[in-house]
């Protein structure tokens, strides 16, 4: 316990001994029931990002359908699955959790999760900044049950210091609730249904620790800490990235490492790049991985500009604090494409141009509130293929432009996370937005297993073209040691071709990308080299939007 004492003294100086004792009890409980298994990230790791109910089939739970689909169609290229929140919830497609320790009965049960873990490594979501207002915790708080006292944050809405708080949404920071017959204004970073937990109360710290270790005991090899930047609130500050927040994450890592040292912690902080990477800590004490949030909008920006100068300069600036950390690379997710991570890399005017492209491709743009009362783009709500290409363009051109960006993502140092709509070549679900009024639904459509299977087996369909090309790349990637997540990488360009150079003890792989609609001469780069995709001598040119991995 001595190793945790300094952090507890910093966070909870009035409750040091009691908190340490509680931590010890929780750790001892989970040590007895948590299997100790070897797990180390390497070049074979590729993670599917999906909801528990993304795929549906008759007469089985959606978790069973997910298992069936992944084993049949993805096992050769995907070895891990990030199941987005699969707990009982009330809104935000899972991110308003009612009970952290139950499986939503609409999706299945813990037995279904255990079956999935037999074939794949699993990432669980820890939605621990906030809970549903329908949770037992918040209900107890509202009826003034002593067990839930100070579990959430009440504040006076007239305090001027609240104007300093960083806002990721346009609606109010505080919402009014009936607390045992009285009005209570409670902190809600994201929505009226998502009430923020009060980490200034050590009971919340302990409750959440119990949740995290419970997930490990249920088979989670990786844990995603959702919206983690907002955890600690302190009036007079922006209430984002506070030292207390970092210390909590560091302490959770220390404790979990004592019980299950193989566990990988990933922080999700959709903020400018320099702020995002602060969650690596010193490289040994905080997140093992952070989301590479600048990559998705930057790839789209570079493709539309047909210029890789900014992409190259940004990639050359990437630094990691140690060889024990890496990026979680992705291009699409259940959320939209955040544009805050572009700040400081391209101008606000260029971000505005991207937003206009999204709207012209039948997408949506979500906005955030600024301290001066203005609003600015926060997120592009669009299927990634529809962001990159006009839906009216020919399929072959769309696939080339889309797969170019996916290949870059797969070749970046770090672990790739692939959204289910990306690997199966989906497009905007405009009807989903119309029916729900929720912009993010444009990229969250549920897929019928039988219909998806039919389209995948239809030669020349958009889905089959994307799926077949994606699986081919994944098989090539997992066979090359040079794609180790922690391996060496260099970034440069020649003749306007973006180049990612990956190196292992035995090989150097050169990944060449043409972001333009014209042909590029690459004879000097490919001479004497083999195309990994074909096993033949590499060609001397790249056609429009073509890429090549050579060795």
Please state whether the predicted TM-score (pTM) of the whole model is above 0.85.
yes
Block means of pLDDT (10 residues each) for the chain, 551 residues, are: 93 97 97 86 97 97 98 98 98 97 98 98 98 98 98 97 89 96 97 98 98 97 97 97 98 96 95 93 97 97 98 96 96 93 93 94 87 81 96 96 98 98 97 95 97 96 98 97 96 97 95 98 95 95 98 96
Contacts of 291 (CB under 8 A, 6+ apart): 266, 267, 268, 269, 270, 276, 327, 328, 330
pLDDT at 428: 96
Domains present along the chain, CATH in parentheses: 135-195 (3.90.400.10), 293-445 (3.20.20.80), 490-550 (2.60.40.1180)
Q: How far is CA 381 from CA 178, 293, 444, 446, 543, in A?
A: 34, 15, 11, 17, 30
Give the model's pLDDT for residue 492.
98
Kindly give the pairing relationship between strand 508-513 and strand 80-83.
unpaired
Helix, coil or strand: residue 85: coil
Q: What pLDDT score was predicted for residue 378?
A: 87
The Cα 486–Cα 41 span in angstroms is 9
Strands laid side by side in the 364-369 sheet: 337-338, 375-381, 364-369
Residue with tokens 């249920």, as numbered in its chain:
218
Question: Which residues are catalytic, by number?
Answer: 226
Label the pairing between strands 130-132 and 364-369.
unpaired
SS3 per-residue string spanning 61-75: CHHHHHHHHHHHHHC
pLDDT at 118: 96
Identify whether the C-beta of residue 230 lies closer than 8 Å to the C-beta of residue 240: yes
Residue closest to 421 by CA, chosen among 465, 385, 472: 385
DSSP string, 407-422: HHHHHSSSEEEEEHHH
Structure tokens given for 211 = 């949740």
Q: What is the pLDDT, as a whole number, of residue 375?
A: 77
């Amino acid at each position: 316990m001595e190793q945790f004492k300094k952090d507890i003294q910093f966070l909870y100086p009035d409750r040091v001994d009691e908190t340490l004792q509680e931590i010890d009890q929780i750790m001892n409980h989970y040590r007895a029931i948590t299997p100790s298994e070897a797990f180390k990230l390497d070049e074979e790791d590729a993670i599917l990002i999906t909801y528990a109910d993304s795929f549906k089939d008759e007469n089985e739970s959606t978790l069973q359908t997910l298992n069936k689909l992944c084993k049949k169609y993805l096992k050769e290229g995907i070895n891990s699955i990030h199941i987005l929140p699969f707990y009982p919830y009330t809104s935000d497609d899972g991110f308003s959790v009612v009970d952290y320790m139950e499986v939503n009965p609409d999706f299945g049960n813990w037995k279904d999760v255990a079956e999935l873990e037999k074939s794949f490594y699993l990432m669980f979501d820890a939605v621990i900044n906030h809970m549903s207002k329908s949770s037992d915790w918040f209900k107890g708080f509202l009826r003034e049950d002593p067990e839930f006292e100070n579990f959430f944050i009440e504040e006076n809405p007239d305090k001027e210091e609240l104007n300093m708080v960083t806002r990721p949404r346009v609606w109010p920071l505080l919402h009014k609730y009936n607390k045992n017959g009285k009005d209570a204004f409670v902190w809600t970073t994201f929505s009226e249904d998502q009430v923020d937990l009060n980490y200034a109360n050590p009971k919340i710290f302990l409750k959440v620790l119990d949740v995290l270790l419970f997930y490990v005991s249920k088979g989670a090899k990786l844990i995603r800490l959702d919206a983690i930047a907002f955890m600690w609130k302190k009036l007079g500050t922006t209430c984002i990235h506070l030292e207390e927040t970092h210390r909590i994450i560091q302490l959770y890592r220390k404790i979990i490492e004592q019980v299950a040292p193989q566990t990988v912690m990933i922080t999700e902080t959709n903020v400018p790049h320099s702020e995002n990477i602060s969650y690596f800590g010193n490289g040994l004490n905080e997140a093992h991985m952070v989301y590479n949030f600048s990559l998705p909008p930057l790839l789209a920006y570079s493709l539309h500009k047909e210029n890789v100068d900014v992409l190259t300069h940004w990639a050359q600036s990437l630094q990691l604090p140690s060889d024990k950390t890496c990026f979680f690379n992705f291009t699409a997710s259940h959320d939209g494409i955040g544009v805050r991570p572009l700040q400081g890399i391209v101008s606000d005017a260029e971000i505005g141009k991207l937003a206009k492209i999204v709207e012209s491709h039948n997408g949506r743009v979500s906005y955030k509130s600024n301290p001066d009362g203005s609003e600015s783009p926060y997120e592009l709500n669009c299927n990634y293929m529809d962001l990159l290409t006009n839906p009216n363009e020919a399929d072959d051109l769309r696939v080339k432009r889309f797969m170019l960006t996916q290949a870059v993502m797969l070749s970046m140092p770090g672990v790739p996370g692939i959204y289910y709509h990306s690997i199966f070549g989906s497009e905007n679900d405009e009807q989903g937005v119309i029916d729900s009024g929720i912009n993010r639904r444009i990229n969250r459509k549920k897929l019928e297993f039988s219909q998806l299977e039919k389209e995948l087996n239809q030669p020349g369909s958009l889905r089959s073209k994307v799926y077949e090309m994606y699986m081919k790349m994944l098989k090539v990637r997992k066979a090359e040691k040079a794609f180790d997540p922690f391996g060496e990488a260099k970034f440069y360009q020649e003749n306007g071709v973006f180049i990612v150079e990956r190196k292992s003890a035995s090989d150097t792989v050169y990944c060449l990308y043409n972001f333009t609609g014209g042909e590029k001469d690459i004879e000097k780069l490919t001479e004497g080299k083999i195309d990994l995709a074909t096993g033949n001598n590499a060609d001397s040119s790249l056609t429009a939007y073509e890429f090549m991995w050579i060795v």
